[in-house]
Amino acid sequence: MPIRPIEGLQPRDLPDEVDALLIGGYRYAFSLTHDAAEAEDLVQDACLAMLSSGAPWDRAYFYATIRNRFIDRYRRNRRVLFVALEQEQEQISDLNWDSPDVLRDGRLHRALGTLNPAERETLFLAVVEGYTAEEIATLTARPRGTILSLLFRTKKKLRELLGLT
């Protein structure tokens, strides 16, 4: 069956582009859940929700849908999701420090698992997806200053969790 068009893409490009979209969505979901099975369920739910709503298959809508489904799914379970933050903007410097290999020994995985979903989400969007603070603010409906502050604190917290302070 043909796939509904994704903005800017030609039909012949769709399979690869769809896979890239789904894998990107999965990684975003994983940044929220830090659990592979839950991330798969979340992306699957988001696909169904997008079909139901008729939303266009672009990354921004897809990520927003994943995020909304995540909130819907877990907010009522009284889990800590997105903590309130002050809106001050902090000085951000040296956020990308030199580090020993914390990926291979599993320290990074454990440290990321200790962060809360909002911290992991912001880190993922900024570092992996390359979103600007403005773009993250739009996606997460938070002030830009809050995003900058959260990113700063998250990096600081991550460094502490990795034992690199």
Which pair of structure tokens corresponds to residue 156?
A: 């600081």
The H-or-E segment that residue 144 falls in is: helix 144-161
Task: Return the number of the residue (57 or 63) whose C-beta is nearest other proteins.
Answer: 57
Select the span of 46-54, 84-92, 139-147 touching other proteins (CB under 8 A): 46-54
Which residue from 38, 25, 37, 51 is spatially nearest to 128, judged by alpha carbons? 25
Residues 66-85 that bind other proteins (CB under 8 A): 72-74, 76-78
Q: What is the residue type of 160?
A: E
- Which pair of tokens denotes residue 31? 């940044």
Q: Which tokens belong to 67?
A: 């995020």
- Is 124 a binding residue for other proteins by CB under 8 A? The answer is yes
Residue in 108, 116, 137, 145 binding other proteins, rule: CB under 8 A? 108
| Three-class DSSP category at 90 | coil
Residue 20 binding other proteins, by CB under 8 A: no
Q: Which is nearer to other proteins, 5 or 83 (CB)?
A: 5
Q: Which of 66, 123, 139, 161 binds other proteins (CB under 8 A)?
A: 123
Comparing CA positions, the residue from 144, 108, 107 lying closest to residue 128 is 108
Nearest residue (CB) to other proteins, 88 versus 98: 98
33 belongs to the binding site for other proteins (CB under 8 A): no
Distance CA 32, CA 26 (A): 10
Cβ 128 to other proteins, closest distance in Å? 5
Residue nearer to other proteins on the CB measure, 86 or 160: 160
